[in-house]
A and B are shown apart, each in its own frame.
Chain A
Amino acid sequence: MAEDILRLDPTLGYVPGPVPADQAEGLSTDGTPLLLQHDQTFASLPPPPPTPGPDFDLEQALASLHNTLTDAVPLLQWFLLLYFVVFNGSYIVFNLMSLFSLLRYRREQALVILLEDEACDEIPISLIVPVVCSQASAAVAAVHAMLRLDYAEFEIIIVNDGSWDETQEALMREFALAPFPEAYRDRLQTKPVKSIYASTTYPNLRLVDKENGGKADALNAGINCARYPLYCSVEVDFVLLRDSLRQMGQPFIGNPATVAACSAVRPASGCVVKEGFVNKVGLPGNMLALLQITEQLRTYPPGLAWWSDKNAMLVLPGAFTVFRKEAVVAAGAYRTDVEDAEMEMVVRLHRLLRQAGEPYRITLVPEPVCWEPVPETMNALKNQHVRRQRSLKVSLALNRQLLFSRRGGVVGGLSFPLVLLFECFGPLIEFLGYVVMTALWLSGAISLQTFGSFMLLAIGMGMLLSVSGLVREEMTLRTYPGLGSVLKLFAVALLENLGYRQLTAFWRLLGQQRWILRNEAK
């Protein structure tokens, strides 16, 4: 380094070139210190020409970075610690608050359902069933089960979204579907509808044959055909309970301002399904499926019952939702460029109805009313997480006007920011937290003790959150019977914090990254 410093000659001015090693340290050749600033000759010299920039010095840069990082480490540590405490702590608090909401809900619900034989007040529901290729047998079985649902008045609209295999033929054969001259209402724009069929044996069953446009487009076509005030989208692999519609329709009877009722879809693996309905609830043998159950108990419903009480339930990914049709039509139908179009619709309804200042209610049905097979391979699970995170980002981004809006109320002022902080940026901070703290420990910037404390806090609070979700479930819904099931779930709730949770955070981060890339591409 000494060679690069300019040599100063009192008589000749500036002489570029290497400086002797002794002078470079501020000493003359005889060992006396150089007093350049007080030298009269030096003072009379013309101003020095601009010095050429030094070449990049990696060591110095690293040293400087090390210094900056050393200064920033305590700050970073505190930020990450605080984030983990606030994130997990607030979810635990929401869990507690929703516990009371759930207990109150169940208490009142038990009184309302007393007269369940009296179906006079039930609001008719249209079930829209989008089908694509290779779903022939699943669709036939699902429609058979739906026809046996315990509800006063409902219709089933199968939407064949451009399948070219035997799916439509199988449905037409099984349910005696014949061409029907429907006066089709194209209130919502969709890909062209080719024809409509009605069953000659089941008066409440129709099939819409249309060009492929994706699930959202199929739902829009189904809404155009729907005759009833309420509707829901039912996947062919959904497994319902006989009284699912009754439970989902109840909030609309109780409060006419209700525009949507959502229920979390539970993992069907492990359940005994008989004639298309869940006959006995059980736990799956597959570890990934088990992890998803505890993940759902930890993440999806925390506080949802409380948020629902405050009419501020914003997102419930992959939910089974019953909508009031006219509200959705007024909101402008499903977006075909959003993967979880129903989740986006819920956020949009919040935004539009808040802006309009209209009384409305979007409510949670806490009971498990719908079950579906969950991914049992790592790749499928990864794709699901990536997809859901992307959908979440899109739903929030498209309705960002709701955030802190004047008329946003609890949704815009509290629910939206918290979802943004914990669900959108959460995976990034969580994943970075683990990576940065590990890197700091490996580089020696923090002690093993500090690193251990952080990991203990992050994982310990995660375990506490997972177990608190299980306790809430035990105190309210008690979905999984038997002490063995509960102990198994407890063990899995602890285990999921040792790798699985961190992995899902990474997958969700990927979802976020893909959303950003897609936006940039646009």
Chain B
Amino acid sequence: MALTGVLLLLILFMRLLQQVKQYWRRRVLNRWRPQLMAGLYEHPESLPPLFRFDLPDFLELWNHLHQSLGDEARGSLNRIAVMARVPAAVSRMMRQKNFDRRLVAVRTAGNLRLAATWDVLRELLEDKSPGLSLEACLALVRIDSTRAVPLLMTHLCLREDWPPQRVTEMLREAGAAQLALPLVKVVEEASAKNACRLMRYLVEIAPAEAEPLIAGQLANPSDDCLLIVSLQALTDRAELEALRQLSQHTNWHVRVHAASALGRLGTPDDAVLLAGMLSDSQWWVRYRAARALSRLPGMTTQELRHIKDIQTDRYARDMLHQVMAELDFLAGAAHG
């Protein structure tokens, strides 16, 4: 009973704490938002003192503005931060135990490009939390992208827990020009398991540099996953012959992507090959082959109907019938 009472007190305390935090946050925002906005247009000679308790809320506001404004405004924000002695405070906060404080400090260090925090950020790169580790990597990239590339490549291989969309964003920020070649090297040297994931990053940020690797995979496939990524990214018609060969691959996932790629890059001559794929044992291969047929250059509804009529396989005919109906429905929805 006493413990239950203690828990009630805990709940009340947490609610109270939350309200105090909200009040404090509103107070900090009301105080600093006008100062920061004014600082974007004029150089303030002095600023109100930034108290220790105000720092996390202030930094959140500062980071929010930093990420949503342009380069010129960022310069003004950085000036204000230096005047408010943020760099020294950030260095201290990065060594604290509180996760949220460390995180906001890391983000601020990156936005401020604080070279003095490089070593601490390198340590944080190894943190167990994928979020904090990725944020530290992003800060390093912002501080000195050239120096950060080797670290980034190493951790790109090691950290499978980094969320892919955030990694892609970071790689774009680091710049394709300086990342492309190291990334190609990393993909070439990576294990089959990692290569597939890294290849996706490569085709996302530097598709031109990925082309030789894609061609190599189509000619001499080393791994089905890598081959599938290559097929998804394939844009070079010079690889058509290799692509046609893959329509007979033993792995049906590869055949599905080969059919899709043929729909994107194929010529009218590929109609026969795709019509053959309509009788594949896998539903998805038949479906993608039918869609690819409908996308071939010069393909008309009459031609599709003719291909359907000459099919002896019921599954092939049904699939083509479905895809033709889908196209009709799509056209109807587009006009309706």
**Interface of A toward B, CB cutoff 8 Å:** 104, 107-108, 110-112, 114-115, 118, 120-121, 178, 180-183, 185, 198-203, 253-254, 460, 463-464, 467-468, 470-471, 474-475, 483, 486, 490, 494
- Neighbour of A467 across the interface among B4, B165, B325, B330, CB < 8 A: B4
Is B329 close to A, CB under 8 A?
Answer: yes
Binary interface profile of B, 144-182, with partner A (CB < 8 Å = 1, else 0)? 000000000000000001011110110000000000000
Is B131 close to A, CB under 8 A?
Answer: yes
Interface residues contributed by chain B, number (CB under 8 Å)? 41
| Complex interface: chain A residues within 8 A of B21 (CB) | none
Is B318 close to A, CB under 8 A?
Answer: yes
Residue on A nearest B19 in the bound complex, by CB: A483
Q: How far is the CB of A490 from chain B (nearest CB, A)?
A: 6
Interface residues of B in 310-333 (CB under 8 A from A): 315, 318-319, 321-322, 325-326, 329-330, 332-333
Interface residues of B in 201-242 (CB under 8 A from A): none
| Complex interface: chain B residues within 8 A of A198 (CB) | 325-326, 329
| Complex interface: chain B residues within 8 A of A185 (CB) | 283
Q: Which 4 A-B pairs rank lowest in CB-CB distance, beginning with the nearest?
A: A111-B131, A183-B318, A467-B7, A183-B322
A118-B168 Cα distance, complex, nearest whole Å: 10
Q: How far is the CB of A493 from chain B (nearest CB, A)?
A: 9
| Complex interface: chain A residues within 8 A of B11 (CB) | 470-471, 474, 486, 490
Is B249 close to A, CB under 8 A?
Answer: no
A387-B15 Cα distance, complex, nearest whole Å: 37
Is B14 close to A, CB under 8 A?
Answer: yes
Residue on B nearest A196 in the bound complex, by CB: B322
A104-B4 Cα distance, complex, nearest whole Å: 25
Given A486-B11, A490-B11, do A201 and B131 touch, yes or no (CB 8 Å)?
A: no
Tell me if B4 and A182 are in contact (CB < 8 A): no
Is B37 close to A, CB under 8 A?
Answer: no
A486-B330 Cα distance, complex, nearest whole Å: 50
Q: How far is the CB of A156 from chain B (nearest CB, A)?
A: 14
A201-B335 Cα distance, complex, nearest whole Å: 9
A464-B129 Cα distance, complex, nearest whole Å: 32
| Complex interface: chain A residues within 8 A of B318 (CB) | 181, 183
Tell me if B321 and A183 are in contact (CB < 8 A): yes
A133-B173 Cα distance, complex, nearest whole Å: 55
Q: Given contacts A203-B333, A474-B14, could you give 16 more A-B pairs where the C-beta distance is less than 8 Å?
A: A107-B100, A107-B129, A110-B131, A111-B130, A180-B325, A183-B319, A200-B336, A201-B336, A253-B165, A464-B3, A467-B7, A470-B11, A471-B10, A474-B11, A486-B15, A490-B11
Tell me if A181 and B330 are in contact (CB < 8 A): no
Q: How far is the CB of A105 from chain B (nearest CB, A)?
A: 11
A120-B232 Cα distance, complex, nearest whole Å: 14
- Neighbour of B4 across the interface among A107, A114, A202, A464, CB < 8 A: A464
Tell me if B329 and A200 are in contact (CB < 8 A): yes
| Complex interface: chain B residues within 8 A of A254 (CB) | 161, 163
Residue on B nearest A183 in the bound complex, by CB: B318
Tell me if B283 and A114 are in contact (CB < 8 A): no
Is B1 close to A, CB under 8 A?
Answer: yes
Given A183-B318, A183-B321, do A483 and B283 touch, yes or no (CB 8 Å)?
A: no
| Complex interface: chain A residues within 8 A of B169 (CB) | 115, 118
Tell me if A108 and B4 are in contact (CB < 8 A): no
Task: Tell which of A183, A199, A494 has the most Cβ of chain B within 10 Å.
Answer: A183
A111-B168 Cα distance, complex, nearest whole Å: 15
Is B101 close to A, CB under 8 A?
Answer: no
Binary interface profile of B, 42-82, with partner A (CB < 8 Å = 1, else 0)? 00000000000000000000000000000000000000000
Is B83 close to A, CB under 8 A?
Answer: no
Count of A-B contacts judged by CB separation below 8 Å: 95
Tell me if B165 and A121 are in contact (CB < 8 A): yes
Tell me if B163 and A490 are in contact (CB < 8 A): no
Is B24 close to A, CB under 8 A?
Answer: no
| Complex interface: chain A residues within 8 A of B326 (CB) | 198
Residue on B nearest A111 in the bound complex, by CB: B131
Is B286 close to A, CB under 8 A?
Answer: yes
Given A107-B129, A201-B336, do A464 and B325 touch, yes or no (CB 8 Å)?
A: no
A200-B99 Cα distance, complex, nearest whole Å: 51
| Complex interface: chain B residues within 8 A of A463 (CB) | 1, 4
Binary interface profile of B, 1-38, with partner A (CB < 8 Å = 1, else 0)? 10110011011101100000000000000000000000
User: Can you list 28 A-B contacts (CB < 8 A)?
Assistant: A107-B100, A107-B131, A108-B130, A108-B131, A111-B163, A115-B169, A120-B168, A121-B165, A180-B325, A181-B318, A181-B322, A183-B286, A183-B315, A183-B319, A198-B326, A199-B329, A199-B333, A200-B329, A201-B336, A253-B165, A463-B1, A468-B7, A470-B7, A475-B14, A483-B15, A486-B11, A486-B15, A490-B8
- Neighbour of B333 across the interface among A111, A118, A200, CB < 8 A: A200
Given A108-B130, A185-B283, do A203 and B4 touch, yes or no (CB 8 Å)?
A: no
Tell me if B163 and A253 are in contact (CB < 8 A): yes
| Complex interface: chain A residues within 8 A of B322 (CB) | 180-183
Residue on A nearest B163 in the bound complex, by CB: A112
Given A182-B322, A183-B322, A471-B11, do A112 and B4 touch, yes or no (CB 8 Å)?
A: no
Is B134 close to A, CB under 8 A?
Answer: yes
| Complex interface: chain B residues within 8 A of A475 (CB) | 14
| Complex interface: chain A residues within 8 A of B129 (CB) | 104, 107-108
Residue on B nearest A224 in the bound complex, by CB: B283
- Neighbour of B283 across the interface among A115, A180, A183, A464, CB < 8 A: A183
A490-B165 Cα distance, complex, nearest whole Å: 41
| Complex interface: chain A residues within 8 A of B163 (CB) | 111-112, 253-254
Given A111-B131, A121-B165, A183-B322, do A203 and B330 touch, yes or no (CB 8 Å)?
A: yes
| Complex interface: chain A residues within 8 A of B329 (CB) | 178, 180, 198-200, 203
Q: How far is the CB of B302 from chain A (nearest CB, A)?
A: 18
A298-B16 Cα distance, complex, nearest whole Å: 24
Q: How far is the CB of A418 from chain B (nearest CB, A)?
A: 23
| Complex interface: chain B residues within 8 A of A202 (CB) | 333
Q: How far is the CB of A158 from chain B (nearest CB, A)?
A: 16
| Complex interface: chain B residues within 8 A of A490 (CB) | 8, 11
Q: How far is the CB of B219 from chain A (nearest CB, A)?
A: 27
| Complex interface: chain A residues within 8 A of B286 (CB) | 183
Tell me if A121 and B131 are in contact (CB < 8 A): no
Q: How far is the CB of B135 from chain A (nearest CB, A)?
A: 7
Given A185-B283, A460-B1, do A111 and B14 touch, yes or no (CB 8 Å)?
A: no
Residue on B nearest A478 in the bound complex, by CB: B18
| Complex interface: chain B residues within 8 A of A203 (CB) | 329-330, 333
A202-B332 Cα distance, complex, nearest whole Å: 10
Tell me if A115 and B332 are in contact (CB < 8 A): no
| Complex interface: chain A residues within 8 A of B283 (CB) | 183, 185
A464-B315 Cα distance, complex, nearest whole Å: 62
A471-B10 Cα distance, complex, nearest whole Å: 8
- Neighbour of A112 across the interface among B10, B103, B166, CB < 8 A: B166
Tell me if A253 and B1 are in contact (CB < 8 A): no
A178-B333 Cα distance, complex, nearest whole Å: 12
A254-B333 Cα distance, complex, nearest whole Å: 35
A107-B102 Cα distance, complex, nearest whole Å: 12
Residue on A nearest B100 in the bound complex, by CB: A107
Q: How far is the CB of A37 from chain B (nearest CB, A)?
A: 63
A383-B325 Cα distance, complex, nearest whole Å: 45
| Complex interface: chain B residues within 8 A of A471 (CB) | 7, 10-11
Task: Tell which of B135, B283, B321, B330 has the most Cβ of chain A within 10 Å.
Answer: B283
Given A181-B325, A200-B329, do A107 and B99 touch, yes or no (CB 8 Å)?
A: yes
| Complex interface: chain B residues within 8 A of A494 (CB) | 4
Residue on B nearest A456 in the bound complex, by CB: B1
A111-B169 Cα distance, complex, nearest whole Å: 13
